[in-house]
Amino acid sequence: MKRILAIETSCDETSAAVIEEGNRQLSNVVASQIKSHQRFGGVVPEVASRHHVEQMTIVMEEALKEAETTYEELDAIAVTEGPGLVGALLIGVNAAKAVAYAHNLPLIPVNHIIGHIYANQLVQPLAFPLLSLVVSGGHTELVYMEEPGKYEIIGETRDDAAGEAYDKVGRILGVPYPGGKHIDEMAHKGNDTFHFPRAMIKEDNNDFSFSGLKSSFINTVHNAEQKGEVLDKNDLAASFQAAVIEVLVTKTMRCAKEKQVKQLVLAGGVAANSGLRAALKEAVEMTPTIELVVPPLSLCGDNAAMIGAAAFVEAVENKQIDLTLNAQPGLSL
């Protein structure tokens, strides 16, 4: 299973990539739709599906061209089967099925979350057991992997995902969707003056909660507005980010030490957060038995290269499927 054409359309990026041996990226083309969704303040599923239809063939051909690869040189097609928006997933799944059928290639379905974790395989070999902190717009999970292909969710958010909280708070601060990147930038110009609650930080479990933090943030802003006070937006951003990072880092490190993992692997769109990357790096420096693996910024958000990397492991496990493959919007690990 040498060369894989991978496809990702689970949300608002149409992406195709060519990956060799599960760890060599020959191309990774990502067409982002963010501009089309920004005026609505979030992803509109119908708009996303239409964009995927328009972009899919162009993106696939561009990925093959960049990789200097023909369909005849491919060994398999991989595609995100879920979780994600059903209409968006269906475009990728059908494109993958069409190519697999036309070129008589095996089809490998990939879980989007597993893709985020395996993005790191394109950086360096993964070492097991590992703990992955998956933080994205839809997920906040601690995934324990004793060996390749074995996944156990040992902690997760009880309400909002970390990225979702960032995006909601971004709306209150009036920054464009998705707010995470903007809040990250503002946080560096402000200070943690508001000391928002660090939910569940002391509790003896691996779960997270961000909806209380979000409410506390909204109440602080509304109370100030009612009193005619103007709050410093950079301080608000810095205070929010400090609360998110302290909880994520404290609970992740505690869990990583308990599980005696070799690697701590950061994954998902929020992995691009500079404060989180720095805080984890600092925490791990004090625990030399654990190696921190962080994806480059280009592999944090949704992309098909990570699907190709994960597909290689799934192919080794022989998880190929026929043309009955369907989108699984609620797929779990």
The residue ranges that bind ligand KG4 (CB under 6 A) are 11, 136-138, 163, 166-167, 178-181, 184, 268-270, 272-273, 301-302
How many residues at the interface with Zn ion, by CB under 5 A?
2
Q: What, of Zn ion, ligand KG4, none, does residue 178 touch, CB below 5 to 8 Å by kind? A: ligand KG4
Closest C-alpha to 199, from 188, 210, 190: 210
155: which strand partners? Answer: 142
Residue 50 C-beta: closest distance to Zn ion, Å? 20
- Amino acid symbol at 280: L
Distance, first Cα to last Cα, the chain: 23
User: 295-314: which residues touch Zn ion (CB under 5 A)?
Assistant: 302
Number of residue whose CB is nearest ligand KG4: 269
Q: How far is the CB of 306 from Zn ion (least distance, A)?
A: 9
The candidate with the shortest Cα–Cα distance to 14, out of 28, 27, 2, 30, is 30
Q: Which of residues 188-247 bind Zn ion (CB under 5 A)?
A: none
**Nearest-angstrom CA–CA distance, 1 and 16:** 18
Comparing CB distances to ligand KG4, the nearer of 10 and 320 is: 10
Which residues, in sequence order, are bridge partners of residue 49? none
Token pair in block for residue 210: 């961000």
- 138/148 with CB nearer ligand KG4: 138
In the bound state with Zn ion, the residue whose beta carbon lies nearer, of 177 and 196, is 177
Rounded least distance, CB 269 to ligand KG4, Å: 2
* C-alpha span between 105 and 124 (Å, rounded): 28
Q: Minimum distance from CB of 302 to ligand KG4 (Å)?
A: 4
In DSSP terms, 211 is beta-bridged to none
CB of 67: closest distance to ligand KG4 in angstroms?
23
Helix, strand, coil share of the chain (percent; to 5): 45, 20, 35
8 binds Zn ion (CB under 5 A): no
Using CB under 5 A as the binding rule, whether residue 136 contacts Zn ion is answered as: yes
Q: What is the dihedral of CA 76, 317, 7, 25, to 10 degrees?
A: -80
Residues that bind Zn ion (CB under 5 A): 136, 302
